[in-house]
Amino acid sequence: MMKDHLVRAVAADASVRAFAVTARELTEFARASHNTSPVITAALGRLMSGALMMGAMLKGEADTVTLQISGDGPVKGLTARADGAGHVNGYALEPGVILPANARGKLDVSGAIGKGVLRVIRDLHLKDPYVGTVDLISGEIAEDLTWYFASSEQIPSSVGLGVLMNRDNTVRAAGGFILQMMPFVKDEVVDAIEEKLTAFPSVTSVLDQGASPEDMLRMLLGDLGLEITAKNEVSFLCGCDRKRVEKSLISLGKKELASLAKDAAAIGEDGKEAGIELRCQVCNKAYHFNEKELRALL
């Protein structure tokens, strides 16, 4: 199986720019780390695929884009963050949500999310991050991103995202595409793309047939002078480490830290290694601290 990767492209004399990504491995990594249910795996895989392509729109490799969804559905919230170098991470507030399939027999992502907002935070290492917020229009994520680009950035776009699960609830395929029309795009180009989009089966079905990101863009823009301009691998990266966890422990304050140290001493009394375990919210990695280590932070 091909490694997850992302391509950037232009078409129709650069009046269209395009991105496409495959994200099976990184979505499976997130699923296994957080033990997400199928519907939440699908939601996270779609959101991380979107974030990766929006990360590829950033100028600097260290710049980041964060997509935050808050809704009144059972998952409550989802977050994905990508940088300009092909790294992404993501997590759900309620990873175990189980819902019946929707009327079309598909994983009910919009049912899990409900009504709410999508917040897009771009950190370009300027004084303040750029934040754009839109109401969710479908909760299926692709439509919501399309609406975000149209309303917040005035860029007519088409976003397709999909995640397909195996029978054993591991990830079979994940990925998507984003097409964006530049202001000088010709009407006949827009019409031709709309025709291709109508004929395009679905992201999950083409990925299931083994399509690469390049294949997806060829299907959509192959007749319009498609030119792939960049290709790079993408992967899940949290960026947490012990130092960062220590800092967050210190920020709890002396009183809380002393009480954790007391807990850490007590937990070991049944013969197991004494200490407390803290888990990273983003990647679920465990960090173990014993009483002595916690007292040292004091």
Interface residues toward Zn ion, by CB under 5 A: 238, 240, 280, 282-283, 285
Instruction: Write the CA distances from 149 to 71, 128, 134, 143, 210, integer angstroms.
Output: 20, 21, 10, 10, 29
**Nearest approach, Cβ of 239 to Zn ion (angstroms)?**
7
Instruction: Compare residues 92 and 207 and give the one whose CB is closer to Zn ion.
Output: 92
Task: Collect all residues with Cβ–Cβ distance below 8 Å to 100 and sequence separation of at least 6.
Answer: 108
| 121 contact partners, CB below 8 Å, separation of at least 6 | 65, 66, 68, 129, 130, 131
DSSP H/E element including 151 = helix 142-152
The minimum distance between CB 197 and Zn ion, in angstroms, equals 37
Residue 90 CB, shortest distance to Zn ion, in Å, is 11
Nearer to Zn ion, 240 or 264 (CB): 240
Rank residues 107 and 240 by Cβ distance to Zn ion and give the closer one.
240
Nearest distance from C-beta of residue 184 to Zn ion, angstroms: 43
Q: Which residues contact 22 (CB under 8 A, 6 or more apart)?
A: 2, 4, 5, 6, 173, 174, 175, 207, 212, 213
**Shorter beta-carbon distance to Zn ion: residue 29 or 147:** 29
Minimum Å distance from CB 149 to Zn ion? 29
Bridge partners (DSSP) of residue 227 are 10
* 67 vs 181, beta carbon nearer Zn ion: 67
